[in-house]
Structure 1
Amino acid sequence: FYNISLLFVIMTLYLFFLIGGQVAQSSVGWSGIPERVIDGNRDSTYKQRSCSHTKRELKPWLRLDLLKMFKVKTVTITNRGDCCSDRLNGAEIRIGNSLIDNGNTNPICTVIKSITGGRTETFECYEMEGRYINIVIPDRMEYLTLSEVEVEGIEVSTDDDCKLT
């Protein structure tokens, strides 16, 4: 039962993005639109049009908007494989409900030490609650390039969900 429920949650989040979840990033460079990180394609070669890409800027970021509150168990990131994999070194995964500084002030789930080019790594977020998931490279001029971002979590019920009509 647990495995079926977990699969349902993962598929719900994936399908959720396909039917209306939102993704944004600080800028778009080389036609690397942010929607590429939620297309289900882990191909890490930029020329295959499967990676997002910002311009070189101070504190580049990408934000997923889940549209509702979730307890986020894990965030899985696939790094670009054909070039520049060290760009993600030191990036922060942040989860919360604030859009102050584009969501980059929300609590930190983890700091990415490194992800080998083309590899996929999963980061435990211990059911941090939030609507927004940001990946930000703080305090330096850099490009942010990601191949795929996947989220595993459970929707948080609100008081409105419990009201009888």
Structure 2
Amino acid sequence: MEGHSYLFLLLGVFCIQGSSENLEENLALKGTAVQSTTYYSWGAANAIDGIRYAPGTASFCSITLNQLNPWWRLDLLDYYCIYKVTITNRADCCPERMTGVEIRIGNSLENNGNNNPRCAVVTSPLPAGGTVSFSCGRMEGRYVNMYLPNIQTHLTLCEVEVYGAVYRKKVYLRMKLTSSVDTAAVSNTFLDQLQSTLGLSPV
């Protein structure tokens, strides 16, 4: 009877981190944004247009209606390990509207994404035109929400920036080998299975 052995491969959960320049790339610029409501023409996309400073009447900001529990959501269109989120307040007025904003990150759209894990809370007034950054460790997620729970107000964001690295999930591969197996054949089979599992095209 031929002996059998098993080959196991575990690809763990990890972030694909390139050069330091990649970590300085604002991922929000590649995404799309929506918000709970829109005040006149101040749509959600204004907060990811790459323009931090908004003189005058918040011309480059996003603003919701005056409502209970306003929210804004960014879809990064892929899964990332998020290291840092930076937000900028409007410059012309109303700096107090940012107080209490929760930054939530995750993959769920339950409650419009507002039930995802929390990275940080803006606990003190952000100066008009001020910018603040929050460290999120390596929180994994596709969606980044700005959420003001239990408050009736306008949610105003002049810019939201997100920095992180591409996220990949862990994968298990198991191969059964016989003692008389052809090494070259095993290598080819292994590569085929790996490509299939990772969704890669054959070279």
TM-score range, shorter chain: 0.7 to 0.9
Q: Alpha carbons of 1:122 and 1:9: their partners in 2 closer, same or farther (altered >3 Å)?
A: same
Change in CA separation of 1:108 and 1:72 when aligned onto 2, cut-off 3 Å: same
SS at match of 1:69: strand
| SS of residue in 1 equivalent to 2:25 | helix
* 1:12/1:61 CA distance change after superposition, 3 Å: closer
Unaligned 5+ runs, structure 1: none
- Match for residue 148 of structure 1? 159
Give 1:84's match in structure 2, choosing from 85, 89, 94.
94
Q: In the alignment, what sits opposite 1:13? A: 27
Question: In the alignment, is residue 74 of structure 1 matched against residue 84 of structure 2?
Answer: yes
> Do the aligned residues in 2 keep the contact of 1:46 with 1:80 (CA within 8 Å)?
no
Task: Give the number of equivalent residue pairs.
Answer: 158
Q: Secondary structure at the match of 1:134?
A: strand
Matching residue within 136, 141, 145 for 1:130: 141
Question: What is the SS of the residue equivalent to 1:86?
Answer: helix
Distance apart, 1:47 and its partner CA: 2.8
1:81 match: secondary structure = coil
Moved over 6 A (4+): none
TM-score when normalising by structure 2: 0.72
Whether contact under 8 Å (1:10, 1:151) holds in the other structure is: no
Name which one, 1 or 2, has greater alpha-carbon Rg: 2
* Amino acid paired to 2:20: L
Secondary structure of 1:8's aligned partner: helix
- Contact map agreement 1:94 1:134 (CA 8 A) in 2: yes
The counterpart of 2:48, out of the listed 17, 24, 38, is 38
Which AA in structure 1 matches 2:36? S
CA positional deviation for 1:163: 5.0
Q: Between the two proteins, what is the percent identity of the paired residues?
A: 43
- The RMSD of aligned alpha carbons is 1.9
8 Å contact kept, 1:94–1:109 = yes
